[in-house]
C-alpha cells in the first residue's frame, strides 16, 4: 500500500482517511454532502459513488498502490472521485487547476500517476500534459461524450458496483496523498501524506474548532490546497461542502447567504478584494462562524475592517505543505481580545495546537527562549515523512528530530508565535538584516496599499537596498514619497523602502501567494550577481 515508514502500533483501530466520510454518513446519511451548481449529493449518494469509483478502479486493474490524479476546478463530482481514490486505498495526486499544463505534467511524471480524472475544461491541455512527461494508462473525463482514447465518467462508473466488495485496510504510515510544494522556488517536490498525517490534522481541527451543528463549508479557494483540507476535516462532522469553481467577489456573498455558510477559507489577498468591493452587506455573512485565513498575516487595520463587517469569526492558522494547516491557531477569541487590549497579538499566527510541538531553533541547533528569533521547527504526527524519492531534500528539512520550516520567528512571553520572514528572503543592506515581511506589514497598513512585495535590489554601496512594489486600492492615487515617509515613521530609515514602484498586478502563485522571487528577478536580471 505504499507504506513510507514505521510508526508505533495503535491500540485502537487504525483509521484510514475514508473512515471519516463513513463516520459522517452514520451521523447524517441524508444531509447534503457535496453541492455545486449542477448537483446535490447527500452522504449516502457520496458513499455509494466512492464504492463505484473504487470498484471500477479495481476492475480496470489499479491497485491500492496506484497513484491517481484529479485535475478539475472545484466540483462536487471531482471531489467524490477523490474520495473514491481513498476508498480504493490508492494515492491521490492533487493537480491545481490554476497551474500551467507543463507544471502539472511534470508532477504527473514525478509521481508516476497512472490514472487522471480530467474535467472537460482542461481537455485541450491534454497534449501539453503528455508532452511534459505524463505517462497515463487511463483518463476519465469528468463529463459526457469523451473523445476516442478516453472514457467518460458514466462509462467509468458503469464498470463498478456501489456495493462494498473489499475491506479498506489502514496502516497509519500508508501513503495516501502526494502534494506538490508548488514549485515557486524551483522544481516542485512531492510531499508524502500518510493516514497518520490526515488523522492528526482532522483530530486537531475537531479539538480546536468544535461545532454544535453540522457545518456548511464554502470551498472557493482551490480544493487541492487549504480549502480541500478543511473539507476533509469537516466530513466526519456531517458537514456540507459547497463548491465554487473560482473566487468571484460579486457572487461570494450571495453564496454565503443562500447556503447558510458557516465555514470559509480565503487567502488575505482575496479578503482584501472582498473588503474593497462596493455595497458589501454584513447581513449576508451572518451565518459565518469560522472565517479562516492563512499563507500570510493580515494588517491590524484590515482585520478591524473584517471583524466589523463579518463579526468575531476571523481565524488564522499556520502550517505548510510539509506540516499542513494547523501547527498554530489564532482563534476568534484571540482576535477579539487582541483588538480590545493587545493589537500586536494580531501580528502573530497564534499558539501551537495540541498535537504538535513548535519551537524556535538557532543556527547551531539549540532551542531558544521566548523573545529570541530563529528558525521555526515542528515535530509530531502532523509532519510529513519526507519528499517522494528524494532523501537529500528530505534530510535538508530535518534537524535533531525536528522539521525545519525555513521560516524565521519568535515566541512572545505569552506563547504566541510571530513569523518574521522566510530565511532565504532576508535582505542584507549595509550590514543590517532586514526582513521583508516586517516591512510589508507596515505597507499594508497604508490606506492606499492593497498588496505589496518587498525585495532587496542591487546597490553599489550597501549591496542591497530595500525596495517595495505595491498594488493600489481602488480609487487611490500613487504617491511613492508618501509611502516611503509612512514606512520611515514606523520602521526607521534602515528598514524603510528606499524606492517604491506601483504595478497594476503583482505576480501570484496558483493559490494566490505573491511570488517574491519573480519580483526580485526583475531587478537582478542585469546585475551580474544574485546577492
Tens digits of residue pLDDT in 91-115: 999 999 988 888 899 999 999 999 9
Residue 15, pLDDT above cutoff 90: no
DSSP SS3 for 495:
coil
Give the long-range contacts of residues 299-307, CB within 8 A, separation 24 or more.
Answer: 299/441, 299/444, 299/445, 300/343, 300/346, 300/347, 300/445, 301/444, 301/445, 302/268, 302/271, 302/272, 302/275, 302/444, 303/335, 303/339, 303/346, 304/339, 305/275, 306/271, 306/275, 307/335, 307/336, 307/339
Residues 221, 199 contacting (CB under 8 angstroms)? no
State pTM to two decimals: 0.85
Q: At what angle do helices 300-310 and 268-276 cross, to 10 degrees?
A: 60
pLDDT of residue 528: 54
Residues 459, 491 contacting (CB under 8 angstroms)? no
Q: What does the block give as the cell for 425?
A: 528572503
Instruction: Calculate what percentage of the chain has a pLDDT beyond 90.
Output: 75
Q: What residues have CB less than 8 Å from 275, skipping those under 6 apart?
A: 302, 305, 306, 309
Average pLDDT over residues 284-303: 88
Instruction: Calculate what percentage of the chain has a pLDDT beyond 70.
Output: 95
Using CA atoms, how far apart are residues 469 and 453, in angstroms rounded to an integer? Answer: 5
Using CA atoms, how far apart are residues 45 and 34, in angstroms rounded to an integer? Answer: 9
Residue 420, pLDDT above cutoff 80: yes
Residue 71, pLDDT above cutoff 60: yes
Q: What is the pLDDT of residues 142-156, one digit of tens each?
A: 998 899 999 999 999
Dump strand ranges (E) for 253-333: 263-265, 290-293, 314-320, 323-330
Average pLDDT over residues 318-323: 95
CA distances from 84 to 89, 163, 399, 448 (A): 9, 13, 37, 47
The radius of gyration of the chain from alpha carbons, rounded to an integer in Å, stands at 23
Q: What angle do CA 437, 442, 447 make, to 5 degrees?
A: 135
Instruction: Assign 295 a pLDDT band (cuts: 50, 70, 90).
Output: low
Indicate the average pLDDT of the chain.
91
DSSP SS3 for 386:
coil
Average pLDDT over residues 460-474: 90
pLDDT of residue 182: 59
**In this structure, what are the phi and psi dihedrals at residue 315, rounded to the nearest 5 degrees?**
-135, 125
Instruction: Assign 184 a pLDDT band (cuts: 50, 70, 90).
Output: very low
Helix (H) or strand (E) holding 86: helix 76-87
Instruction: Assign 297 a pLDDT band (cuts: 50, 70, 90).
Output: low
Using CA atoms, how far apart are residues 336 and 343, in angstroms rounded to an integer? Answer: 9
Residue 526, pLDDT above cutoff 90: no
Which position has the grid cell 451543528?
213
Using CA atoms, how far apart are residues 244 and 255, in angstroms rounded to an integer? Answer: 9
Which position has the grid cell 524603510?
496
Instruction: Assign 432 a pLDDT band (cuts: 50, 70, 90).
Output: confident
Residue 188, pLDDT above cutoff 90: no
> Nearest to residue 195, comparing CAs of 178, 225, 174?
174
- Looking at 373-479, list the stretches that DSSP marks H as alpha helix, in order from N- to C-terminal side: 391-396, 436-444
pLDDT of residue 12: 37
Residue 530, pLDDT above cutoff 70: no
Average pLDDT over residues 22-31: 92
**In this structure, what are the phi and psi dihedrals at residue 97, rounded to the nearest 5 degrees?**
-65, -20
Q: DSSP class of residue 453?
A: E
Residue 34, pLDDT above cutoff 70: yes
> Nearest to residue 32, comparing CAs of 86, 85, 80?
80
Instruction: Assign 83 a pLDDT band (cuts: 50, 70, 90).
Output: very high
Q: What is the pLDDT of residues 198-224, one digit of tens each?
A: 999 999 999 999 999 999 999 999 999
Amino acid at each position: 500500500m505504499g507504506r513510507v515508514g514505521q510508526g508505533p502500533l495503535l491500540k485502537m483501530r487504525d483509521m484510514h482517511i475514508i473512515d471519516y466520510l463513513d463516520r459522517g454518513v452514520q451521523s447524517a446519511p441524508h444531509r447534503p454532502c457535496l453541492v455545486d451548481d449542477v448537483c446535490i449529493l447527500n452522504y449516502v449518494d457520496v458513499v455509494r459513488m466512492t464504492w463505484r469509483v473504487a470498484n471500477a478502479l479495481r476492475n480496470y486493474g489499479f491497485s491500492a498502490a496506484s497513484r491517481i490524479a484529479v485535475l478539475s476546478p472545484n466540483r462536487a463530482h471531482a471531489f467524490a472521485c477523490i474520495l473514491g481514490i481513498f476508498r480504493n486505498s490508492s494515492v491521490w495526486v492533487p493537480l491545481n487547476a490554476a497551474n500551467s499544463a507543463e507544471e502539472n505534467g511534470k508532477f504527473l511524471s514525478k509521481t508516476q500517476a497512472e490514472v487522471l480524472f480530467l474535467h472537460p475544461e482542461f481537455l485541450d491541455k491534454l497534449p501539453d500534459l503528455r508532452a511534459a512527461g505524463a505517462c497515463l494508462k487511463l483518463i476519465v473525463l469528468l463529463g459526457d461524450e469523451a473523445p476516442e482514447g478516453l472514457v467518460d465518467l458514466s462509462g467509468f462508473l458503469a464498470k463498478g458496483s456501489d456495493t462494498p466488495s473489499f475491506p479498506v485496510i489502514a496502516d497509519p504510515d500508508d501513503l495516501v496523498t502526494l502534494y506538490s510544494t508548488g514549485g515557486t522556488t524551483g522544481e516542485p517536490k512531492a510531499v508524502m501524506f500518510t493516514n497518520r498525517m490526515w488523522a492528526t490534522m482532522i483530530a486537531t481541527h475537531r479539538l480546536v474548532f468544535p461545532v454544535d451543528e453540522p457545518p456548511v463549508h464554502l470551498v472557493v479557494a482551490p480544493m487541492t490546497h487549504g480549502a480541500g483540507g478543511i473539507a476533509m476535516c469537516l466530513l466526519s462532522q456531517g458537514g456540507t461542502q459547497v463548491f465554487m469553481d473560482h473566487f468571484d467577489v460579486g457572487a461570494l456573498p450571495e453564496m454565503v447567504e443562500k447556503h447558510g455558510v458557516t465555514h470559509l477559507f480565503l487567502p488575505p489577498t482575496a479578503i482584501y478584494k472582498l473588503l474593497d468591493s462596493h455595497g458589501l452587506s454584513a447581513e449576508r455573512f451572518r451565518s459565518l462562524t469560522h472565517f479562516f485565513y492563512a499563507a500570510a498575516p493580515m494588517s491590524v487595520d484590515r482585520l478591524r475592517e473584517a471583524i466589523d463587517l463579518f463579526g468575531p469569526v476571523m481565524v488564522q492558522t499556520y502550517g505548510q505543505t510539509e506540516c499542513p494547516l494547523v501547527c498554530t491557531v489564532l482563534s476568534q477569541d484571540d482576535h477579539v481580545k487582541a483588538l480590545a487590549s493587545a493589537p500586536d497579538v494580531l501580528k502573530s499566527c497564534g499558539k501551537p495546537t495540541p498535537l504538535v510541538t513548535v519551537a524556535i531553533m538557532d543556527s547551531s541547533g539549540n532551542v531558544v527562549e521566548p523573545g529570541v528569533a530563529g528558525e521555526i521547527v515542528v515535530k509530531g504526527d502532523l509532519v510529513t515523512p519526507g519528499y517522494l524519492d528524494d532523501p537529500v531534500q528530505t534530510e535538508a528539512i530535518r534537524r535533531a528530530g525536528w522539521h525545519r520550516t525555513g521560516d524565521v520567528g519568535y515566541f512572545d512571553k505569552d506563547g504566541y508565535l510571530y513569523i518574521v520572514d522566510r530565511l532565504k528572503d532576508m535582505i542584507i543592506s549595509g550590514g543590517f538584516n532586514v526582513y521583508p515581511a516586517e516591512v510589508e506589514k507596515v505597507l499594508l497598513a497604508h490606506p492606499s496599499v492593497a498588496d505589496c512585495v518587498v525585495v532587496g535590489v542591487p546597490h553599489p554601496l550597501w549591496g542591497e537596498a530595500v525596495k517595495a512594489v505595491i498594488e493600489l486600492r481602488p480609487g487611490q492615487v500613487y504617491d511613492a514619497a508618501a509611502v516611503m515617509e509612512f514606512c520611515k515613521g514606523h520602521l526607521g530609515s534602515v528598514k524603510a523602502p528606499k524606492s517604491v514602484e506601483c504595478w497594476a498586478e503583482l505576480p501570484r502563485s496558483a493559490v494566490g501567494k505573491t511570488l517574491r522571487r519573480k519580483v526580485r528577478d526583475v531587478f537582478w536580471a542585469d546585475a551580474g550577481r544574485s546577492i
